[in-house]
Structure formats: structure tokens, C-alpha cells
Structure 1
Amino acid sequence: MLALNNTTDDQLAFLFIGIPGLEALHIWISIPFCFLYLMALMGNSILLLLVRSEQSLHEPQFYFLAMLAITDLGLSLSTLPTVLGTFWIGTHQIGLDGCLAQMFFIHALSSLESGILVAMAFDRLVAICCPLSYSRILTSRAIICLSGAAFIRGAVLLAPLPLFLRNFSFCRDNVLSHSYCYYPDLLTLACEDITFSSAYGLIFVLCTFAVDALFIIVSYLKILTTVLRLGASDRGLRSMHTCACHLCTVLIFYLPLISLAVLHRYAHGTPPLLYATMSNAYLLLTPLLNPLVYSLKSRQIQVALQKRLWIQRVTVGERTET
């Protein structure tokens, strides 16, 4: 184990341990990880291709879905090198600068995804509660502003976090609890007063995820009130169906996020296996399940996908005949 007393920045490194007690099985554990990453990358890439190529999907809700897919691709690519490096190749070490860069991208993309989920909730709110004003409110400019605001918010609020850690000295064992660099995890390794840094991290969570979750809850309470007023009409049933995909996506994102935050803050002495399971669920299941949810629940996505597959079969058939 490498002690970090009196080390310079270019010597400073952190260690990933994977799943303690299962080191001999890491090569086998890497196989399902490879498969899940491949599925996540393929699923989100297909969603992007569909939204870009199909005219029927050129609507605000699917533009937000495309941004969600881009964010999920970024999250997968941010964690893939260290997760597969730990379990497959056996590379357990990362330098300080690389660790801080990965940490920034993970948290910034998570914040961006939360902001996009808010924008999608706003889209459903306008579509159901103010359908006659939908095209007037959800313009191209509004979509760009909502997406840009989510990006700028995450980048600005997260910029100080790497600076805090860059100025700390690390005098404890440099073993990380996850297979990637996570701010609360890094903070526990510092040997200086972390009160301010920890408080700033809490403020960041409250200003992003807590505010976003509150807005989503309020939006769906308003949507539910409107749907109940409509009764069992076709419009009311269609409205609830269009919200199903988004609600599943919200749960897939927030439940692992909240669980991991609670484990870090309150559940000290948690078994390493539970830490490893929740940390990978937080950043791997979301990019994996989002495309599946929309493929299974969204009729428009299904039609677009079937159309692309039919065109592909026709093209292959014509080439075979010639």
C-alpha cells in the first residue's frame, strides 16, 4: 500500500481495488462489465441516430432525449477506462490529474443529466397542461437555453471541486472505494480540514439534484391534477403514457444516486461488495436502461426503429439481387 506523506503531485497516485475479496475473479467479472458497456454505448448511439435521421422525431421531447443519450455516452466513456482497467487488465493506479479530470466529468455529466430530466419534465408539463401553447413555448431557442443552462450550471458549480482537492495533501492510504474517482471518496483521503469542501459539496447537491428533484415532483403533481381533471378520456390516457418513459428514467437516475450518497454520508462500515454494487449501478445502469425504456415504452421510437430496420433489410436485399 502506498503512503502519501510528503509526495509531490507527479508522484501522487490513487489505487482502485475493485471488489475486495474477489480479486481472483476480476477477469471473469470484467466479462459482464464489457457486455453492459457495449450495450449502453450501442443503445445510446442508436437513439442518437434515430433522432437525427427520422423526421417524425424532430420534436422537443426527442431533442431532449438525444441530449440525454449524449450525456449517457459521456458517463459511460468517463468510467469505462478505469472500470475495465481494474477488472480486466489489472491496472489499479491513476495519477492525481487523471483522477481529478475523471471526477469532474462524472459529476458534471451527472449534473447535466439531472438538468435535462428537468427540461423533459417541463416539456411534458407544457404538452399536457398547455397543449395549445406548446409550439409557442418550446421553441428551438427555448430548447437551447434550457440545455445550455443545465450545462453552465454544472460546469460553474463544479469548477472549484478539483481546485479544492488539488491544494490538499493526502496522508492516508490512497485506496478508493470505487472503480472511478468520486468526490466524497477522494475527500475522505485528505489529511487537512475538509469542513468547507464537504459543505460546498453538500451545497452543490442541494442546488442541483435536490432543486431538480423538487421541480420534477411539482411538475408531475400539476400533470397528475390535469390528467385527473380530464378523467378517463383518450387524451388523459395518452398523457399518462407519454409520461411513463420519463418517470422511469427519473427513477433509474435518482434512486442509485440517492442510495450512493446515503452510503457515503451515513453508512460507515458498509460492506465493500455493497459499495461496489451501488457505485456501478449509479453510473452504468442509467446509460444502459434509458435506451431500453424508451425503446419499449415510446411508440414513436418503436415505429422509427422498425422503419430503419425495414429500410436496412430492403437495402441488403437489393444489393443481394444485383
Structure 2
Amino acid sequence: MGFTNMSYLYPRTVTLIGIPGLEHVQFWIGFPFFGVCLLALMGNIFLLIIIPTERSLHQPMYIFLAVLAATDLGLCIAIAPKMLAIFWFGSCSMTFDACLTQLFFIHALQGMESGILLAMAYDRYVAICDPLRHTSILTPFVLVKMVVVVVIRATVLVGALPILLKRLQRFHSRVIIHSYCEHMAVVKLAAEDICVSKSYGLFVAFAILGFDMIFVFISYIHIFQAVFRLSQKESRLKAFNTCIAHIVVFFEFYILAFFSFFSHRFGHVSPYVHILLSTIYLLVPPALNPIVYGVKTKEIRRRVVQIFILKPDIRH
């Protein structure tokens, strides 16, 4: 069958409708999302200020945390301005190229966040399973190489997604049923064969999120085995305590990620439920990560207290 009269060539602009079925309350929904974004921005900016200036935090775990904070900031900046413009001002139009750019940054930063969580799990594995060699294994040069590999992997794998979308010529709609440019939401606009884009999207998800999740689990299996082999209860609790923050962040990220991913492709949840959950998945972890690590790390807590209550300690 040929293309119908409803299909047209590559669009110059697209329209993001926000949250379908909840358009009448989107204005009010924007306020809690704005609060979450503000919390994420403040928390991650504090981490990026505190970690470089606090000498006791110049360790691999907190260096990775600083990179995670920068990634979370990027996610908020990529999503929040346009989403809030849709909710508050009805600014739904967007050029197709800008949409593809947003799509790239959102998914690339997701991939980088997943890679940093894997790097943090490896740091905990070395610190607990081979503590005497921790500093000799995770040298500054090795840390830089790990971060560079994480960034290159996400950039290269995700970079092909907008390229494949640019090759599509005919679309049956310009209306994206979402509050931001998500890959599958854009793919579904096409009025031609989308098997390559869908298959490659699945490949990227499993090559990044699936791969990282498997190896984080393997790391923690070895970590727990090493912890339970410790003879003293105090030593076991201390070792486990160093992992709690990362475990919380890990589960928070991957559970929401895979629920969002599978519900969009294989689930039958209502569109507004999926879009709310996928937006929460992208914005809530950046807001919670600084809180989780702030609560668990006394140096971060102390510096935050100094910033808000006391004069900064110039010795640091």
C-alpha cells in the first residue's frame, strides 16, 4: 500500500502536547516538577562545589559522584526548560532538529549516568575486596580513562539514534505525545518502516543499561561475599555502610529506567501514567542523589551546614 494523504514529508516543526489526558491540570503539575528540578539543581551544584574543595573527598568514589552530579545537572537542563514552558505557557512547538538534539542529550546523559554508577560499583568492589591495592588500581589516570570511556560509549551509541531518525522521510503526525523528545515517542511518528530504529533503540538500551546493571549485580555479589567473610560484626557493618548510598541510588535509577523502557514498548499502561513515570524517572534521581550521599557522608553534611549556617572554613 502507498502512503495515505495524511502522511507528509520530513517535518520542520513538531508539537509536544505534554501529558495527554491531563492537559487541564498541567499548569499545576508544573509546580512540583519545578520544585524537584530546583532541588536537583541546588543539590548537584553544592556537590560540585564541595567535592573539589574538601580534601577528604578527593577519593575515587566522590570523584565519580562529582561526575554523576554534572550528568544530573545536564539532564535537568535538557528536560526542564521546555517541559515547564509547555506546562505553564503552552509553548508546545519545537523545531524537529531541536527535538532530535534534546533526544540525543537526554539519552546520552542517561547512558553516562548508568556508566558512572557501574564505575562507582567497581570502586566499591576494589575498596572492599582488594583494599590494599585500592589506590594503586584506581589511580587518577585510570579514573580519567574510565570517565572518558563512559562518555564516548554513550555519545557514540546514542548518537546514531537521531541519525536514523533523520533518514526517515514520511511521517503521519507532527504531534509528539510526550513532555519531551523521547526516542520511541518520536519514532512512532513515522509513516514508514521503523524496524531499524526500534531494533537499534533496544540494542542501545541493553548495551548500556542492561550491560551495566548485570555487572553492578556481579560486583555486589562479590562485595557481599567479601563482607560476610569478615570475622567481626563491626567490620561487616562498616563495609556494608560504605555501599548503602550507592545501592539506594542504583535501585532508584534502574528500577525506574526499566519500568519506563518496557512500559513504552511492551506495556499497556495509560499514556499519562507512562509519561508521568518516565519524567519522574529522569528528574527524581538527580534530586535524590545529592540527598542520599549528603545524608551518608559527614564531610558533605558539615560543608552544607557551613554554607547555610556558619562562615565557611577557609582552611578548606
- 1:279 is aligned to 278
**Letter paired with 2:104:** F
- 1:320 is aligned to none
d(CA) in 2 for partners of 1:260 and 1:158? 17
- 2:74 is aligned to 74
Q: CA RMSD in A?
A: 1.8
Aligned residues: 310
Query: Does the Cα contact within 8 Å between 2:20 and 2:178 map onto a contact in 1?
Result: no
- 1:173 is aligned to 173
Query: Does the Cα contact within 8 Å between 2:8 and 2:172 map onto a contact in 1?
Result: no
Structure 2 stretches lacking a partner, 5+ long: none
d(CA) in 2 for partners of 1:179 and 1:309? 35
Using the TM superposition, give the Cα deviation of residue 108 of structure 1 relative to its aligned residue in structure 2, in angstroms: 0.5
d(CA) in 2 for partners of 1:211 and 1:146? 15
Using the TM superposition, give the Cα deviation of residue 110 of structure 1 relative to its aligned residue in structure 2, in angstroms: 0.4
Using the TM superposition, give the Cα deviation of residue 52 of structure 1 relative to its aligned residue in structure 2, in angstroms: 1.4
1:164/1:85 Cα in 2 relative to 1: closer, same or farther (>3 Å)?
same
Query: Does the Cα contact within 8 Å between 2:294 and 2:301 map onto a contact in 1?
Result: yes
- 1:121 is aligned to 121
Moved more, 199-208 or 127-136: 199-208
**Letter paired with 1:14:** V
Using the TM superposition, give the Cα deviation of residue 301 of structure 1 relative to its aligned residue in structure 2, in angstroms: 2.2
Using the TM superposition, give the Cα deviation of residue 232 of structure 1 relative to its aligned residue in structure 2, in angstroms: 4.1
d(CA) in 2 for partners of 1:277 and 1:103? 17
Using the TM superposition, give the Cα deviation of residue 37 of structure 1 relative to its aligned residue in structure 2, in angstroms: 1.0
TM-score norm. by structure 2 comes to 0.93
Look up the SS of the partner of 2:14 in the other structure: strand
d(CA) in 2 for partners of 1:26 and 1:313? 41
Structure 1 stretches lacking a partner, 5+ long: 316-322
Moved more, 289-298 or 141-150: 289-298
- 1:5 is aligned to 7
Query: Does the Cα contact within 8 Å between 1:39 and 1:288 map onto a contact in 2?
Result: yes
Query: Does the Cα contact within 8 Å between 1:4 and 1:174 map onto a contact in 2?
Result: no
% same residue: 38
TM-score norm. by structure 1 comes to 0.91
d(CA) in 2 for partners of 1:146 and 1:213? 17
d(CA) in 1 for partners of 2:13 and 2:212? 35
Moved more, 64-73 or 25-34: 25-34
Using the TM superposition, give the Cα deviation of residue 167 of structure 1 relative to its aligned residue in structure 2, in angstroms: 1.3
Look up the SS of the partner of 1:159 in the other structure: helix
- 2:208 is aligned to 208
Using the TM superposition, give the Cα deviation of residue 310 of structure 1 relative to its aligned residue in structure 2, in angstroms: 5.5
Using the TM superposition, give the Cα deviation of residue 199 of structure 1 relative to its aligned residue in structure 2, in angstroms: 1.3
Using the TM superposition, give the Cα deviation of residue 31 of structure 1 relative to its aligned residue in structure 2, in angstroms: 1.7
Query: Does the Cα contact within 8 Å between 2:20 and 2:177 map onto a contact in 1?
Result: no
**Letter paired with 1:244:** I
d(CA) in 2 for partners of 1:186 and 1:231? 55
- 2:109 is aligned to 109
Using the TM superposition, give the Cα deviation of residue 308 of structure 1 relative to its aligned residue in structure 2, in angstroms: 4.3
1:83/1:231 Cα in 2 relative to 1: closer, same or farther (>3 Å)?
farther
1:201/1:218 Cα in 2 relative to 1: closer, same or farther (>3 Å)?
same
Q: Does 1:228 align with 2:215?
A: no
- 2:197 is aligned to 197
Moved more, 80-89 or 111-120: 80-89
1:187/1:229 Cα in 2 relative to 1: closer, same or farther (>3 Å)?
same
Q: Does 1:245 align with 2:213?
A: no
Moved more, 57-66 or 306-315: 306-315
d(CA) in 2 for partners of 1:133 and 1:155? 32
1:78/1:4 Cα in 2 relative to 1: closer, same or farther (>3 Å)?
farther
d(CA) in 2 for partners of 1:141 and 1:75? 27
Query: Does the Cα contact within 8 Å between 2:76 and 2:283 map onto a contact in 1?
Result: yes
Query: Does the Cα contact within 8 Å between 2:173 and 2:190 map onto a contact in 1?
Result: no
d(CA) in 2 for partners of 1:220 and 1:301? 25
Using the TM superposition, give the Cα deviation of residue 41 of structure 1 relative to its aligned residue in structure 2, in angstroms: 0.3
- 1:318 is aligned to none
Using the TM superposition, give the Cα deviation of residue 87 of structure 1 relative to its aligned residue in structure 2, in angstroms: 0.6
Using the TM superposition, give the Cα deviation of residue 98 of structure 1 relative to its aligned residue in structure 2, in angstroms: 0.3
1:7/1:74 Cα in 2 relative to 1: closer, same or farther (>3 Å)?
same
Q: Deviations over 1:102-149 (max 9, x none)?
A: 000001000000000010000000000001001100100010011000
Using the TM superposition, give the Cα deviation of residue 77 of structure 1 relative to its aligned residue in structure 2, in angstroms: 0.2
Pairing 1:260-271 to 2, within 5 Å after superposition: 260-268=260-268, 270-271=269-270
d(CA) in 1 for partners of 2:144 and 2:75? 21
**Letter paired with 1:6:** Y
d(CA) in 2 for partners of 1:97 and 1:304? 42
Look up the SS of the partner of 1:14 in the other structure: strand
Query: Does the Cα contact within 8 Å between 1:68 and 1:113 map onto a contact in 2?
Result: yes
Q: Deviations over 1:236-286 (max 9, x none)?
A: 211101100001111111111101111111114x21221222111111111
